[in-house]
Amino acid sequence: METLELAIAWEKEYVTMRYCSGEHFIWNEWRGAIASVELREAMIFSCDFILKNNVELILADYTLMIAPSLDDQVWIANHTAELLQHSKLRKVANIMAQDMFQQLAIHTIYGMASEVPLPCESRDFVTRTDALKWLFMK
């Protein structure tokens, strides 16, 4: 992370999105219990940013996020998959919290989104170091 030139692309109390244009990389850090309106706004912003900037690599840090409601999980799966199916995404690394409900929520979203063919591979990690190694492995 030290060698990446990261700029904050968007910041709210519940999410920080950092971007490295040279690597076509974003790092999203999600925090707390996020209300539906804010969560959906953040997901739309993130998808639009990914498309406009030809993002290929995502590090999604969910370690401080509380699992979203099932309604939000379904909404996220349906809307993000539809938007990102024609993106340049290659890899998405998820840093998961120890909380089983949060892990289940993320897996539910990916399971529902898998009905739409996405151009990327996704993996779950416990540490940021391992996630970054995988993302930037040639």
Query: For position 96, which CATH number holds?
Result: 3.30.750.24
In a domain, 1, yes or no: no
In a domain, 117, yes or no: yes
Full-prediction pTM beyond 0.85?
yes
Q: 2-23: per-residue pLDDT in tens?
A: 688 999 999 999 999 999 999 9
In a domain, 55, yes or no: yes
In a domain, 2, yes or no: no
Into how many domains does the chain fold? Answer: 1
In a domain, 17, yes or no: yes
Q: 70-119: per-residue pLDDT in tens?
A: 999 999 998 998 899 999 999 999 999 877 777 787 777 767 766 767 77
Is the predicted pLDDT of residue 1 greater than 70, yes or no? Answer: no
In a domain, 123, yes or no: yes
Q: What is the mean pLDDT of residues 47-61?
A: 97
Q: Could you list the residue range(s) of the whole structural domain that residue 101 is in?
A: 7-135
Residue whose C-alpha is closest to residue 58's, from 35, 25, 106, 96: 25
